[in-house]
């Protein structure tokens, strides 16, 4: 083993490489993109296939295919991207997988780069799929190895949850020096193994529950769960929140209260938790964002006739929104434990020092200027258009939009407004990456149902807000190889859009206003493609 100084993103990448991963797929989204970018730098030397897929659903289905072929695959997605994967996941859970399949899920407590403040841990219960969360980069590396082994042992996909602050944490990580070996179990062809249909769905669901039951012994024996300390008061923490807790309480308080660190979140280690609760009169839960562990601990306490009082978010000891900062944990622990002396005092006034660094990639974005031209054209026609946008490029002009939801939603949302009888012309604005992500089906729907909206796509040949990753409109892939670039204009015309305008970077100050005037004057569906690269 060699010691490498790695952040959370890098530790996950080296863990996957040490496991013999063959295929890595993702749609750009932070947190989790950093792991993919690290693997891109390692891919050629280690014969790993890495791609930026058109969307998260496609990336997961690529991983499923590799698993059926007996190869290990890693699928990376952020919280809102995980939502896009739920459809195939709810069938994948029923089909015993073959090659190891791990999903790296990046949550964003505090919504530093997301449109919501989502806690995805409850999806594990919904999906009935094992989930783990590391407390440190070193544990993340080890957890990645464990996840692939567990995936193949119990024939299930495994989710590893991480948070933005975790990905930026750095430490020395023991990394295997063994030469990379590609894991290959060989293609398996077994009737109905990967084919859930009405006649076998209930039995497959029953088999899934048996697999989860079989995993309960692993969950209770996992080294990622650890109980320490003494006393009748306890603190339970999960994932990176545990590292924050240790920064406050240190090791010197081990004689004053008990600590239970949880790394396995589904299935929860029920026996370990029940034993811990039996030794405590009161327990405080430290977790981000929702009371996931808190609610489950209450159920375990009830099932084991355990009278332990459980405090956390529902008792208002801990905030239920945003990132959980160390000063908040310190206040909660100080309120919970009498005569508690923190290892180091954290101040609310210095919260900014603890916030994760958010890289800004949107400097110089042209959308403000483009909307200026749009509004000037509309004003000349006596119009005041309703502007509907997508996440991504439109983040920079969010204050000028009427609505913005998910990637690919602008066109359908705009069309819904139009069909509902809004008097003003409705305009859908989105980027090129969003076009390839999920906007194409919406355009097909708009054409078929005779929409009258105006669509505007900013084609800057990149996924800018996530770090300038390539998309399907770029003539190279994630690993820098020359590939066919898909053309937005050809696709739009192929979908049936009759009125397609194109505008180049030299037109912003000259003819763009006139282009908008012409398109806004029409009473049917139109698309303007604004190319910002020559």
Cα separation, 238 vs 254, in Å, equals 18
Q: How far apart are the C-alpha atoms of 131 and 100, rounded to whole Å? A: 14
Q: Which of 378, 392, 483 is nearest to 430 (CA)?
A: 392
- The string of DSSP codes covering 474-493 is SSB-TTS-B-PPPPHHHHHH
Is it the case that residue 255 has pLDDT exceeding 90?
Answer: no
Q: What angle do CA 94, 97, 103 make, to 5 degrees?
A: 90
Hey, how many other C-beta atoms are within 10 angstroms of the C-beta on 183? 16
Residue 183 pLDDT > 80: no
pLDDT more than 70, % of the chain: 96
Alpha carbons 361 and 433: distance in angstroms, whole number: 15
Write out pLDDT tens, residues 442-469: 999 999 999 999 999 999 887 767 677 8
Confidence of residue 366 (pLDDT cuts 50, 70, 90): confident
The per-residue pLDDT for range 378-387, each reduced to its tens digit, is 999 999 999 9
CA–CA–CA angle 143, 166, 359 (5° rounding): 135
Would you state the pLDDT for residue 112?
A: 83
Q: Which domains does the chain have, with CATH numbers?
A: 2-221 (3.40.50.970), 226-353 (3.40.50.920), 367-531 (3.40.50.970)
Residue 529 CB partners (closer than 8 Å, separation 6+):
457, 459, 488, 489, 492, 500, 501, 502, 503
Which residues, in sequence order, are bridge partners of residue 107?
Answer: 163
Query: Residue 78's pLDDT band (boundaries 50, 70, 90)?
Result: very high
Segment 232-250 mean pLDDT? 94
Q: What is the mean pLDDT of the chain?
A: 92
Task: Report the pLDDT value the prediction gives residue 513, as an integer from 0 to 100.
Answer: 94
Asked whether the beta carbons of 293 and 262 are under 8 A apart, the reply is: yes
Between the CA of residue 365 and those of 260, 357, 409, 431, what are the distances in Å? 47, 21, 21, 11
The three state secondary structure string of 329-376 is HHHHHHHHCCCCCCCCCCCHHHHHHCCCCCCCCCCCCCHHHHHHHHHH
**Confidence check: pLDDT of 440 > 90:** yes
Per residue in 21-48, is it b (16+ CB within 10 Å) or e — as a string?
bbbbbbbbbbbbbbbbbbbbebbeebeb
């Amino acid at each position: 083993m060699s010691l490498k100084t790695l952040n959370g993103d890098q530790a996950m990448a080296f863990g996957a490489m040490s496991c013999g991963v063959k295929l890595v797929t993702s749609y750009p989204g932070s947190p989790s993109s950093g792991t993919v970018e690290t693997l891109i730098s390692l891919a050629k030397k280690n014969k790993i296939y890495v791609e930026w897929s058109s969307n998260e659903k496609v990336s997961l289905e690529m991983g499923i295919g590799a698993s059926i072929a007996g190869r290990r695959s890693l699928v990376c997605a952020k919280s809102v991207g995980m939502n896009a994967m739920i459809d195939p996941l709810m069938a994948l859970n029923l089909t015993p997988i073959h090659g190891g399949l791990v999903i790296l899920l990046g949550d964003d407590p505090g919504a530093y780069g997301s449109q919501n403040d989502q806690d995805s841990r409850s999806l594990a219960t919904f999906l009935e799929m094992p989930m783990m969360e590391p407390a440190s980069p070193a544990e993340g590396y080890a957890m990645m190895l464990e996840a692939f082994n567990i995936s193949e042992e119990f024939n299930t996909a495994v989710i590893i949850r991480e948070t933005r602050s975790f990905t930026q944490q750095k430490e020395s990580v023991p990394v295997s020096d063994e030469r990379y070996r590609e894991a290959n179990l060989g293609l398996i062809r077994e009737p109905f193994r990967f084919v859930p249909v009405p006649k076998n769905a209930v039995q497959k669901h029953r088999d899934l529950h048996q697999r989860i039951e079989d995993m309960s012994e692993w969950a209770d024996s996992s080294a990622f769960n650890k109980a320490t300390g003494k006393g009748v008061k306890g603190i339970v923490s999960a994932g990176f929140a545990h590292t924050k807790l240790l920064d406050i309480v240190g090791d010197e308080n081990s004689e004053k209260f008990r600590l239970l660190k949880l790394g396995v979140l589904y299935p929860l280690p029920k026996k370990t938790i029940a034993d811990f609760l039996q030794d405590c009169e009161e327990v405080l839960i430290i977790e981000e964002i929702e009371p996931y562990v808190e609610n489950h601990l209450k159920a375990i306490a009830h099932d084991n006739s355990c009278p332990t009082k459980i405090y956390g978010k529902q008792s208002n000891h801990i905030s239920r929104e945003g990132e959980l900062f160390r000063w908040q944990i310190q206040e909660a622990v100080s309120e919970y434990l009498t005569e508690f002396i923190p290892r180091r005092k954290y101040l609310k006034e210095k919260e900014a020092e603890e916030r994760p660094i958010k890289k800004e990639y949107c400097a110089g974005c042209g959308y403000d200027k483009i909307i200026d031209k749009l509004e000037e054209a509309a004003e000349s026609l006596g119009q005041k258009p309703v502007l509907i946008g997508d996440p991504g490029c439109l983040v920079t002009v969010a204050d000028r939009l009427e609505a913005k939801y998910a990637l690919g939603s602008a066109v359908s949302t705009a069309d819904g407004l139009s069909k509902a009888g809004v008097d003003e012309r409705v305009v859908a604005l989105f980027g090129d990456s969003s076009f390839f992500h999920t906007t194409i089906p919406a355009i097909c729907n708009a054409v078929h149902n005779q929409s009258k909206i105006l669509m505007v796509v900013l084609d800057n040949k990149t996924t800018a807000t996530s770090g300038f990753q390539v998309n399907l409109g770029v003539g190279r892939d994630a690993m820098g190889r020359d590939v066919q670039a898909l053309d937005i204009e050809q696709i739009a015309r192929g979908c049936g859009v009759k009125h397609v305008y194109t505008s180049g970077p030299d037109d912003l100050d000259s003819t763009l206003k006139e282009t908008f005037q012409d398109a806004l004057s029409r009473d049917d569906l139109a698309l303007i493609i604004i190319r910002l690269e020559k």
